[in-house]
Each structure stands twice: as C-alpha cells, then as structure tokens.
Amino acid sequence: MWSIYKKEIHLFLSSLVGYIAVAVFLLATGLFMWVFPDYSVISYGFSSMDGFFSMAPYIFLFLIPAITMRSFAEEIQTGTIELLNTRPLTEWDILLGKFFAALSLVLVAILPTLVYFFSIYELGLPKGNLDFGGTLGSYLGLFFLGSSFISIGIFASSITKNQIVAFLLGLFLCAFFYDAFSSISKLPIFFGWADLILEYCGINFHYASISKGLLDTRDLIYFISLSLFFLLATRFSLERKKW
C-alpha cells in the first residue's frame, strides 16, 4: 500500500492536477468568504465561518471527482492495471494506496483554510468571538465528507476506462448522496418516519449534524460505513475485471 501511496502522491505533485485542485479550492472558498457580497463574512458582519462550510461541499462535488477520475480509469485504459495485478500486491493494497493519496491531497487543500479561522478570530468583537466547537466539528465533517466523496469517485473510476465518464459519474453519485435524499424526503408522498429515515440516508444530514459541534457516533459510523461500502464496491469491480 505504501508503494502505491507514494506513486500516487508523486503523480499528483509531478502534474498540474494536484496543484490546480488545491488552488481552485482555495481561490473559490476565498472568494466566497471575503469577496462575494452575498456570502462574504465582511458583508454579514458576524464572526462566523458558516459561509465557508456551506459552500465547500459544493466545490468538493466538482474537485474530488476530478482528482479521482484517473485513479483506475487510466490504469484500465493503458493496461497497467494488469501489470499491478502481477505484482505482490492485494486489491486492498492498491485500493487503499490510491484512497489515502487522494485523501492526503484533500487534507492539504483544507489545512490552508485555517488562515480564515485565525483571521475571523482576530477580527471578532470581542477578539476570539467565534464558535470553536462548531468550527472544529465543521472541519471534521468536511474531512469525512471528503473521504466519502473520494471513495465514491474511486468507485466511479473503477467501472470505466474513460476518465470523462468517470468524472461525470462520480459527480452525479456525489451530488446524489449529498443532497438528493434530503430533497426527495420533502416530497408529499413521504410523511411520518419515512421522510426522516430517507433524509438520514443523505450525507448532508450528517454533515450538518457534525457542523453543530456535536460529535454523534451515529454520524461518524455513517461516514465510515459509506466510505467502506464504496471501497468494497470498488474491490468487487476490480475483481470482476480479472474474470
């Protein structure tokens, strides 16, 4: 797994993909945080990072599928997946190496946004007038959301050899699991416990819950289970290609 991890990190750093992904994320979130009047914390006049945490998932919807689309699609298209299968590596070694490499890149993109936190901390009246618990929970939720999107994107990449198709499929699946369940639950045909159960299946529900600063084990189990489910689905997809 370590060799695959280092190989993927090297590919990210030796091409523009990694740098562009991080730069686009920081530029987009910076514009929403400080420039665009409808979202800017300066325009609102409140020491809060809610604008950042509400927009970051939608930026991840596009960036993470763009990062993961080449994970297996490129290997399948060039035939190097067969070469990897001849090495003393298990499917989990290959899969987790690519997963943690993409997760590391997402973490690198998130860490510089701590500058926003310290800036708002200093600008608050009084100084430090910021919800630490909610902010910490939101960062943790964003990390888990990123890991879920990565597992979905890697799965999409494993079932096709076309990177554009992998990107579009990953984008669709990420968007569906993030917001579709919440939207569907509002339909009039669902009432009582049905709408709550349906909304509970979506990522947005659990991301919003963690963002309140309350670390509920049910939310953590949901994110871990969702990531594990798509990693298992990816492993099954890779095994089928051997048949």
Look at residue 189 in the predicted model and tell me its pLDDT: 72
Burial zone of 240 (CB within 10 Å; 0-12 exposed, 13-18 middle, 19+ buried): exposed
Q: Residues with Cβ < 8 Å from 24, sequence gap 6 or more? A: 59, 63
> Could you tell me the pTM of the whole model?
0.90
Residue 242: predicted pLDDT: 63
Residue 176 confidence (pLDDT): 93
Range of the structural domain that residue 10 is part of: 2-240
Residues 152/174, Cβ–Cβ less than 8 Å: yes
How would you write the chain as a 3-class SS string? CHHHHHHHHHHHHHCHHHHHHHHHHHHHHHHHHHCCCCCCHHHHCCCCCHHHHHHHHHHHHHHHHHHHCCCCHHHHHHCHHHHHHHCCCCHHHHHHHHHHHHHHHHHHHHHHHHHHHHHHHHHCCCCCCCCHHHHHHHHHHHHHHHHHHHHHHHHHHHCCCCHHHHHHHHHHHHHHHHHHHHHHHCCCCCCCHHHHHHHHCCHHHHHHHHCCCCCCHHHHHHHHHHHHHHHHHHHHHHHHCCC
Contact 19, 27 (CB under 8 A): no
pLDDT at 233: 94
Q: Residue 142 corresponds to which tokens in the numbers above?
A: 């964003």
* Average pLDDT, rounded, for the chain: 85
pLDDT at 168: 95
**Is the CB of residue 153 less than 8 Å from the CB of residue 61?**
no
Q: In the chain, how many domains are there?
A: 1
Low-confidence ranges of the chain (pLDDT < 50): none
What's residue 243's pLDDT?
A: 52
pLDDT value at residue 9:
85
